[in-house]
Structure 1
Amino acid sequence: MNEPRLDVSAVTGGNWRGYLSEMGPSWVAGAVAAGPATMATVLTAGATFGYAMLWVVVLSAVLGASAQYLSMRLGLLTEDGIVSVVERELGDGWAWALVADAVLAAGLAQLVIMQGLANVSATITGVDARVWGVVWAVVLAAGLAGRGYRFVELLAKGLVAAVVVAFLASLVLVPIDPAAAAGGLVPRIPSGVDGALVAAGILGGAVHITLITMHSYTMRARGWTTRDYGLATFDVGASMLVAFGVYSLAIFLVAASVLHSPEVAAGDLTAVAAAQALGPIAGANAKWLFLLGLLGAAVSTLGGNTVVPPFLVADKLGWGTDLSDGRYRALLAGVALFSGVGAFLGGAFFPLLVLVLAFGLVGTPFAIAVVLVLLNGDAVSEPNSTPANLGGVVLFAVTTVLAANFVRSRALSDLGDPLSVFVVVFAAAMGAATLGLLGKFVRETVGRPTAA
């Protein structure tokens, strides 16, 4: 890469109108973040605990934007996919560990989101959810394999903007308790398994390994380089900090104001129950408006989430990561079609989504550690600034503590449950990988000769 390096410390100029028209890659991550999983988790938090978890909702937007900024920075400074960079700088084993971590988290999310999309479609139309699962899988495969990344980006920007506007409108009608909301800004996690699970789920919606790993590929699909650093920074701020932040905050405040009840348990809330509870506020059509919003969020999230495993696997195997490579196209279509299996899953949609987000958070500290190690090594020509490193360390620490709290609560609650055992084993494996990576970085940094 022979093009000159620019100042890459912030948004350093450019036309704001041009930024608004050209932004896009971070909106794909925002569409995945602002999907039914976050909606379910934030609604559950407000309905179950009132305003108590407002601080987690606010923190999730800030940390989500921080994570996207760091991954954006790595993608632009290397102008390569994250898996290729990891393989080149850290080794083949670390690259496979990252691929396995992200594919597992994205795959589980894909199945559960498709289950929700199929069930919501069935509720609206009366047609069997399994039929809808097959239909949506075929539509997803045809759209992605036919139009690729641009199809995902256009869908993401349109649907995320529409959902944000819808929830802002509903917030105007809801009586917010300012004193109680202010109390919710004091950090604390309600006692019990539900509190740890929901807190991990809220943060997992914004700071998720799929969002971190996909960013370098979506920017490459747009052809962005270091010359687009200002645009890319604006893209992250507009999508994750503003749009996603407003989205999650509005949903939470509505739930805490209208749905909160001592009788509500985190595992009992359903989409229809939440919609019906909004009836006195939004009118007789609240159920259908809510379900249509949930449907739109699920469609946009599925589109963004589907591209993650093909991006990572194709990059690791040395294939192209666009539709010009037939192998990538086939892999993309295969992942889309596989998601149809989710329509045949059992279990309630909202509790499963919360669990999937919390599970994804367990694998996220490893991805954050990978990005920080690469940004402070020879992979990039521009050293990471002290504020960027400080933000990354805070991001790593918060996600690690919340993930550990969730795993501890899950392990203590029911080790006889196979899913609980799987979560604990997965957490132990990713924890060992993270410690190994950080140990490798410390050893190499200490042993590196100091420049004269």
Structure 2
Amino acid sequence: MSKTARDPEATQVPARPARPGRAAWLLGPALVAGVAYLDPGNVASNMTAGARFGYLLVWVVVLGNAMAWLIQYLSAKLGIVTGRSLAETLGDRIRNPWARRLYWLQAELVAMATDIAEVIGGAVALWLLFGVPLPIGGLATGAVSIGLLFVQQRRGARSFEFVIIGLLALIALGFTYGVFAAPPDAGGVVSGLVPRFEGTESVLLAASILGATIMPHAIYAHSALARDRFTAPGARPEDRAAGVTRVLRATRWDVTIALVIAGTVNLCILLLAAANLAGVPGTDSLEGAYAALKTGLGVGVATLFAVGLLASGLASTAVGAYAGAEIMQGLLRVRVPLLVRRLVTLVPAIVILAAGVDPTWALVLSQVVLSFGIPFALIPLVRLTARRDVLGAHRNRWWTTVAGAIAAVLLVALNALLLWLVLTGV
């Protein structure tokens, strides 16, 4: 048991006057992890849901975002208090080598599904903007992600955060502008807050939205990002000296800001499609949506949409690769060179692009795969953060644990319903 877990005050320093704006410098990790909630898989799932079902699944986006707040805060808290990521903690606690390897395998498959979504999204954006062939665009997206990861390795967590937050601003601009140019129907939005489905396909899209909203790799990544920023040997002295209680307080704001941004953008994507693309042939694909936006709302809206998609692919693939490396190192205690890992995980996405598979449908299916990986990350997270021997006095209150358990049950139930509908052909 770590000293921090036994004595939560061990990392704190005597109180001293805070410099103006000093609390703002504690923000950042959640904004980086929040990029995972705005990856191309989110775009494809929300655009497809809006184009096919109008405002029907608005409630899924809102519910997913509310659950995501709690989940991401618990992940960050684990990293801050223990100084270890979720993957590292599980790697220590899963004693059986084969059980640990099997757990790593499912987590790795989820990380690869994430890579597929993000690389395909970046490739589609490059094709829409510049006519770059999809396989070449996928390679270019992967190359940029390697550059972003080198920034994290060479310049530290703070520099990486600045770059990703800059891309986050582009994502927000690109995906929200269209809603202001063509506002949705207020009555339709309100009706979409009533939970319901319309057939198997709507359940599939709901699972896809939740898989894209509550992403397993974001759960693993946030604990590692918080660790690297506040407790790792390479962290800035000011951040390491901030104290656990103060950092946790700032983290609640960090997660709130990140999820407000992510939730708003995701909702805007669905509303844009519901208001302007519902019933229009071909608009349930990214390419068709781009063409319809260009025709209906003008070149400016369509171009900003494509720019947002490109920024989404570039930022999220870097965060996804970071999470994948952390999963392997934490669970298998194996550190693979960054370039080697990035090249290996690029292969499935490039194969899909070269084979001519519909990129949008591949993105949606990748998010369904992610939804099945959620319980394997979420259930251990809720259990670990409720334990005194792990977080000491910072363990969850009982109502936090209950809320986390309810979220886990809802997600598992939705996935079970999805599986039953698909297998029975209902």
TM-score relative to the length of structure 2: 0.85
Correspondence for 2:378 among 365, 368, 371: 368
Aligned-residue Cα RMSD (Å) equals 2.7
Question: 2:249 corresponds to which residue?
Answer: 230
Question: 2:208 corresponds to which residue?
Answer: 201
1:343, distance to aligned residue in structure 2 (A): 2.5
Correspondence for 1:381 among 388, 392, 413: 392
Relative distance call for 1:317 and 1:145 in structure 2 (3 A) is farther
Q: What amino acid maps onto 1:157 in structure 2?
A: I
Q: Distance in 1 between matches of 2:137 and 2:292?
A: 26
Q: Distance in 2 between matches of 1:87 and 1:124?
A: 43
Instruction: Pick 1 or 2: higher relative contact order, CA cutoff 8 A, min separation 6.
Output: 2
Q: CA deviation digits over 1:368-416, x for unaligned, max 9? A: 11112212333221332022112101210111112112222232349xx
Question: 2:262 corresponds to which residue?
Answer: 244
Q: What amino acid maps onto 1:379 in structure 2?
A: V
Q: Distance in 2 between matches of 1:134 and 1:219?
A: 30
The 5 A counterparts of 1:6-17 are: 17=21
Q: Distance in 1 between matches of 2:281 and 2:408?
A: 32
Among the aligned pairs, what percent are the same residue?
25
Correspondence for 1:405 among 374, 397, 417: 417
Question: 1:288 corresponds to which residue?
Answer: 303
Does the Cα contact within 8 Å between 1:275 and 1:286 map onto a contact in 2? no
Unaligned runs of 5+ in 1: 8-12, 320-326, 415-452
Q: Distance in 1 between matches of 2:180 and 2:48?
A: 20
The 5 A counterparts of 1:266-415 are: 269-279=284-294, 282-318=297-333, 327-328=335-336, 330=337, 332-341=338-347, 342-345=349-352, 346-377=356-387, 378-382=389-393, 383-413=395-425
Does the Cα contact within 8 Å between 1:47 and 1:260 map onto a contact in 2? yes
Question: 1:429 corresponds to which residue?
Answer: none
Runs of 4+ that moved beyond 6 A? 13-16
Relative distance call for 1:156 and 1:411 in structure 2 (3 A) is farther
1:152, distance to aligned residue in structure 2 (A): 4.2
The 5 A counterparts of 1:105-120 are: 105-120=110-125
Does the Cα contact within 8 Å between 1:174 and 1:281 map onto a contact in 2? no
Q: What amino acid maps onto 2:297 in structure 1?
A: A
Relative distance call for 1:284 and 1:84 in structure 2 (3 A) is closer
Matched residue of 1:307: which SS?
helix
1:195, distance to aligned residue in structure 2 (A): 0.8
Question: 2:29 corresponds to which residue?
Answer: 25
1:338, distance to aligned residue in structure 2 (A): 2.6
Q: How many residues align?
A: 396
Q: Distance in 2 between matches of 1:392 and 1:244?
A: 20
Relative distance call for 1:311 and 1:57 in structure 2 (3 A) is same
Q: Distance in 2 between matches of 1:16 and 1:270?
A: 48
Matched residue of 1:269: which SS?
coil
Matched residue of 1:381: which SS?
helix
Instruction: State yes or no: 1:87 paired with 2:95.
Output: no
Correspondence for 1:136 among 123, 141, 156: 141
Further displaced range: 351-360 or 136-145? 136-145
Q: CA deviation digits over 1:410-450, x for unaligned, max 9? A: 32349xxxxxxxxxxxxxxxxxxxxxxxxxxxxxxxxxxxx
Correspondence for 1:187 among 195, 198, 202: 195
Does the Cα contact within 8 Å between 2:151 and 2:160 map onto a contact in 1? no
Question: 1:256 corresponds to which residue?
Answer: 274
Q: Distance in 1 between matches of 2:47 and 2:40?
A: 10
1:295, distance to aligned residue in structure 2 (A): 0.9
Unaligned runs of 5+ in 2: 11-16, 232-242
